[in-house]
Amino acid sequence: MMKKTKQLNRRDFIKLSTVASASLPIALSGFPLFANDKPKNYQFSQDNDNVLVLIQLQGGNDGLNTIFGMSQYDNLQSVRSNIIIPDSQLLGIDDNIRFHPNMTGMKNIWNKEKLAIVQNVGYPNQNRSHFRSSDIWNSASDANEYISSGWVGRFFETNHNTFPENYPNTENPDPFAITIGKIVSETCQGNIANFSMALEDPENPGTALASNTGDIPDNCYGNALNFVNNTIAQTNAYAAVIKTASSSGNNLSQKYNDSELSEKLKHVAKLISGGIKTKVFVVQLGGFDNHDNQVVEGETKTGKHAELLKELSDAIEAFQDDLELLNIDKRVIGMTYSEFGRRIRSNGGLGTDHGTAAPLFVFGTCANNTILGDTPEIDTAVDIKEGVQMQYDFRNVYSTILTDWLGASKSDASNVLFEEFDALPLFKSGCSAALSTNDFLQKKLEIEVYPNPVINFINIKFYGNNEKVKIVLFNSIGAVIKNITNQKYNATQHTLNVDVQNLPKGNYYMYYQTKSVSKTKKLLKY
């Protein structure tokens, strides 16, 4: 993996500089700065004017209290009896799927056919630490790899590998990315600098004074001082661009409220309408780590999680409404993500503990109105530590955004994500770059896993379809137990016989993935 040579980090920066500013993109990145080796010989096409808005749900959103599959509702009720919302109070969107009752805004977007739902999103060997799992989502690394750069930062860096030196410039006068908040997003961290600028108020982006205008010594302290001065100069130049865009922009929706997320997205809409060429915006909504009192006892549709889902849903609806009224909606796609979901069983404190996979939303006029993924399978005998198993790797979603929205080729996306991840049908045809979406075919699952329950040997029968087939065995908490196969199979039926006799008794999951199908099958080992 990447060679890491330590350079000036945040702690060193604070020690050596005499100026601190919340607008400084490097000082508040949260990542140490590394000069890493980069993949070579690839270029991005960033000619389109598409914009990506990332909404990070900090703390681990409980997907099972966000989206309900009625085919598994009775079993879910049996393992979450103290927090389950009565089915009569849920918001129906199709014959099987229901939303939390506070998500009327998201339901309205669904009804307007501008919402994609991807269920069971995670990654192999799920880490349940907030900090580590957030790092994995932000960097797009494997669970056992430590990458200091973010996936969005690597996207920008391929065409701008000298950043921040001599930026902004005539060709690139605008910030590449903006985080609405006090701290820049780690998704935007490049190998040398963070491409994101932290911003709280576009009307008053703030400026800073250079820390030294006299002679600067030719030593490590002088280098740090030059770093400070150059960063301040860049920040001040970007501040002028932001203030101009904010003054020129507008908000037309009457649906915004005074919630923190609503205000952040309102700023984003105003800046885009004001002509800023920023490609990526990041906003955060915290508070999802609800180990206790997630709901109010006896009134389970209320409580902390209900309030967060209402804030999220209402803010997204207002933002989408504003984009449409401003006539910029076809340029903007939003995506939610969280570091992990929660466990299937609730705990005794009216809450839920750290889990594994969870759903995410992709919204916007160009979003394909679809539900990808199966309703999570709920076993009434589920272990207390068990979470929802992954059906889609989050990097499949990233790959789709890179190719079908931001304009990367498939090989470009593979370089940024360190390996190839097939795209998903997240965008309407004719509305995006669509380099990969058309290759995705919804096929009937051609796989059988038997006997189940199993004692010694499991048979996996599947149809090859001239595609590479990946089959992995996970345990109940998302750790990889066996990599069974990862190779191309011809278009005939195949059967693999797998020895599981040495595995401990318990629940396991067989994960099956091709370019066309991604499925997870539960397996009981006696």
The yes-or-no verdict on residue 29 having pLDDT over 50 is no
pLDDT category at 220 given cuts 50, 70, 90 is: confident
Say yes or no to pLDDT of 214 above 70.
no
CATH number of 51-433: 3.40.720
pTM of the model: 0.87
Closest-CA residue to 448 (of 401, 400, 494, 397): 494
**pLDDT value of position 16:** 33
Domain ranges of the chain: 51-433, 443-525
In our burial notation (b when 16+ CB lie closer than 10 A, e otherwise), range 343-368 reads: bbbbbeebbbbbbbbbbbbbbbbbbb
Q: Residue 91 — very low, low, confident or very high, per pLDDT cuts 50/70/90?
A: very high
What pLDDT score does 324 carry?
Answer: 98
Determine the pLDDT at residue 6: 36
**Averaged confidence pLDDT in the chain:** 87
pLDDT digits 0-9 by tens, 460-511: 999 888 889 999 999 999 999 999 999 999 988 999 999 999 999 999 999 9
Whether 51-433 and 443-525 share one fold: the answer is: no
| pLDDT over threshold 50, residue 193 | yes
Give pLDDT, residue 28: 28
Q: pLDDT band for 25, please (50, 70, 90 cuts).
A: very low
Q: Write down the CATH number for the domain with range 443-525.
A: 2.60.40.1930
Instruction: Name which residue leads in pLDDT, 465 or 28.
Output: 465
SS3 467: strand
Q: Is the pLDDT of residue 98 over 70?
A: yes
Helix (H, G, I), strand (E, B) or coil at 448: strand
Q: H or E stretch including 156?
A: helix 151-157
Cα-Cα-Cα-Cα dihedral of 282, 283, 289, 292, to 10°? -160
**What is the identity of the amino acid at 525?**
K
380 falls in which pLDDT band (50, 70, 90)? very high
Residue 142: pLDDT over 50: yes
